[in-house]
Chains A and B, each alone.
Chain A
């Protein structure tokens, strides 16, 4: 099962740099980030090379932070590969609540992060379809 870090932030300048500073000082490599905002506040979701450590250091720095279960799946960095995953999930009536990704090796490998209701079932579906599901 994969994890992502979810951080509550007020919608103000300088909030992201505080997070990146904590990660930099802890020598954590940031892989991907998304921001959802709701007026005066937002939620930043990040993926790093060491999510447990990132969670710990952010918590120690007094961030309102939580680890969330997500599906992290490797896909080829090629046209249509996300579509294939999406089709499989559609067939299995899986609703994707949130999704983002990053390229691991250009032209070779990308990583998809999917927020779904039942992570274990989706991981099983994707494994059975021949995908490499990343565990943390």
Chain B
């Protein structure tokens, strides 16, 4: 089955000359653009300092001298200190949550937005999505890059886009049926939930819809989940990788061979490093993905540590694209976790808990998946001196913590009050996050 689908649109490229560029030429292009990025980055306050001693590099080995940029750099510095240009040339900002209530801001010039849309178009075209498709974008629109990123890419191809956003499952299903949606962009957990919902209302996911493709991303998921989704809907499911620091979705994308994600090396320079030592690793070696923007002008990022664990696949792809592939993301090098497509750090939850004098500093986060939906549970201990013996007070406390957490992390958790002394203490290697999901 896979072979047949591969052959039907393998021959087509969005931009053949660049997608199948000769590997040596690609390397030359990268080196040229790396120097461009470094030079343009120096115009910003942040890199002006950080890179002041860096001269033009002649080969990739010299990159090792350039310090990494980390998410802490983005969180701790004035967001505007990364701009290479006047704010009047910036047309868009996206944001993603960071630790302890701070956010990372990514700024785009008009050219950056166009370039990103072009990359997304390249991804969608690669998996056979064309002008006559109907694309229902079931990702959050707004500061999150998943909604607008795919939207602009799809419009670039000329596809009818339904900006459905997240949630309201009944409406989503109505749209899919009324408008005969052929392509969706969605998180794996929400797609599993929708499958469940469709069956509950007595419809068949594979027969009562016109779906043929799902772009699934924003959360890690396994090959098994992909196969399960493909079987339920009888569609092709493609893995999409991106992060707002690198524009958003469209950094790497699966081709019809579904064996790794082509990372667009004309736009990003990739390295895999040992997250502990920072040493650069070779192909097929697993480590943390480090990316440098090669074409972004408003806010270039140099050697940005993504925190995502993967490896560069050595094997060249049969699809003809020369851009190397990365393995599907295996996990994180930090303690960030993803629930319902939202990035969360334990420290964000901790900060909220600390605001409540009624509860102790110990807490535990449990993530589970039921019926395809992520469930986030936060357990807290009640302080002895605050216990007055009334259940209403405890229910009220539970509700207040829940509301505050929802406000900060954008995911509604279950808050459980537990007995004093039952949670692991902060001393020693306390395991704060228990992820029970089988991804």
Q: Which residues of A contact B (CB under 8 A)?
A: 6, 8-10, 36, 38, 40-43, 45, 62-68
Contacts and interface: CB of A to CB of B under 8 A. Distances in A.
Interface of B: 382, 384, 387-391, 394-395, 398, 416-422
Contacts of B384: 64
Contacts of B398: 38
Contacts of B388: 6, 66, 68
Given A38-B394, A41-B394, A64-B382, A6 B417 contact: no
B84 to A, nearest CB: 51
Contacts of A63: 419
A41 B418 CA distance: 7
B387 A62 contact: no
B417 A40 contact: yes
Contacts of A41: 394, 416-418
Nearest to B398: A38
19 contacts: A6-B387, A8-B382, A8-B389, A8-B417, A8-B419, A10-B419, A38-B391, A38-B394, A38-B395, A38-B398, A40-B416, A40-B417, A40-B418, A42-B391, A43-B391, A64-B382, A64-B384, A64-B387, A65-B387
A43 B389 contact: yes
Given A8-B382, A41-B394, A43-B394, A62 B420 contact: yes
A64 to B, nearest CB: 5
B395 A68 contact: no
A9 B416 CA distance: 12
Contacts of A9: 419
Given A8-B389, A8-B419, A62-B421, 18 more contacts: A6-B387, A8-B387, A8-B394, A10-B418, A10-B419, A38-B391, A38-B398, A40-B416, A41-B394, A43-B390, A43-B394, A63-B419, A64-B384, A64-B419, A64-B420, A66-B387, A67-B389, A68-B389
B384 to A, nearest CB: 6
A45 B387 CA distance: 13
Contacts of B420: 62, 64
A50 to B, nearest CB: 18
A74 to B, nearest CB: 23
Contacts of A40: 416-418
Contact of B390 (A6, A42, A64): A6
Contacts of A65: 387
Contacts of A6: 387-390
A40 B364 CA distance: 15
Nearest to A15: B419
Contact of B422 (A10, A36, A42, A68): A10
A66 B389 contact: yes
A38 B416 CA distance: 10
Nearest to B389: A6
Nearest to A35: B391
For B391, B418, B420, the residue with the greatest tally of chain A CB atoms inside 10 Å of its CB is B391
For B384, B389, B422, the residue with the greatest tally of chain A CB atoms inside 10 Å of its CB is B389
B359 to A, nearest CB: 12
A104 B382 CA distance: 35
Contacts of B391: 36, 38, 42-43
Nearest to B385: A66
A36 B390 CA distance: 9
